[in-house]
Structure formats: C-alpha cells, structure tokens
Amino acid sequence: MTTTTDSFQPAYGSGITVTPSGSSASSTLGEGSLNVVLTNLSTTTVSYVRIGKGAQTAPAADYPVLPATQVSLSKAKTDDTVAYLATSPGASLHIIAGRGL
C-alpha cells in the first residue's frame, strides 16, 4: 500500500504573527483551507492553540506548540478561527493556513 502526502502549500499573504498572553485571544483565518501551520517563534514559551468555527477559547489544556517548533494541524474546511494562549510572557506565534503537511 502506498500513501502520498502533499507538501504544505501555504495561502501566501494570509500569515499573521500574534503575541499570545495569559488570556485567550483569537484570530480569524477564513474558511476553505484544510491545514494550519503554527510556528512558535519564542525560544522559551509554550503556546496553546485551538482551531474551530466561530468564537473559540484556548485553555492551557489544548494543543501545545513547544518553543522554537513548527506544527501542522488539520482542520475542517469550515473552521475559520484559531485561539491561542501562553502561560508565561514572551510568546510569539506565526499562523498560516494552507493545504498539505
């Protein structure tokens, strides 16, 4: 059995950089993409994220993006929001929608 995975195809021009804090905040990505790549630009602070449709709140129990790492998360085409939180200062998170891994 052969499985093929497309490399990530970013939605150029749609990336944003946010500064997560101790209170959950969110940004709108727009619908249509199947993946979101999150890059934690901080070298010391973990960010937590949640992706969904409409208003979202990210608690520290959600998906962690470790310092100085990048992850690709799948999402439904109708998911349009990413929420983020950091439990310590110094967070910086780049978010870009697209397709593939």
Q: Where in the sequence is the domain holding 67, given as residue range(s)?
A: 16-99
The answer to the question of residue 8 being in a domain is no
Q: Which residue has the tokens 């490399």?
A: 7
The answer to the question of residue 74 being in a domain is yes
The answer to the question of residue 32 being in a domain is yes
Give the number of domains in the chain.
1
| Tens-digit pLDDT string for the chain (101 aa) | 666 678 999 999 999 999 999 999 999 998 999 999 999 999 999 999 999 999 999 999 999 999 999 999 999 999 999 999 999 999 999 999 999 88
User: What CATH number should be reported for the domain holding residue 30?
Assistant: 2.60.120
The answer to the question of residue 47 being in a domain is yes
The pLDDT of residue 59 is: 97
The pLDDT of residue 47 is: 98
Backbone torsion region of residue 90, taken as left when φ is above 0, otherwise alpha when ψ lies between -120 and 50, otherwise beta: left
The pLDDT of residue 1 is: 62
The answer to the question of residue 92 being in a domain is yes
Q: Are 18 and 93 in contact (CB under 8 A)?
A: yes
Cα angle value 44/50/52 (rounded, 5°)? 155
The answer to the question of residue 36 being in a domain is yes
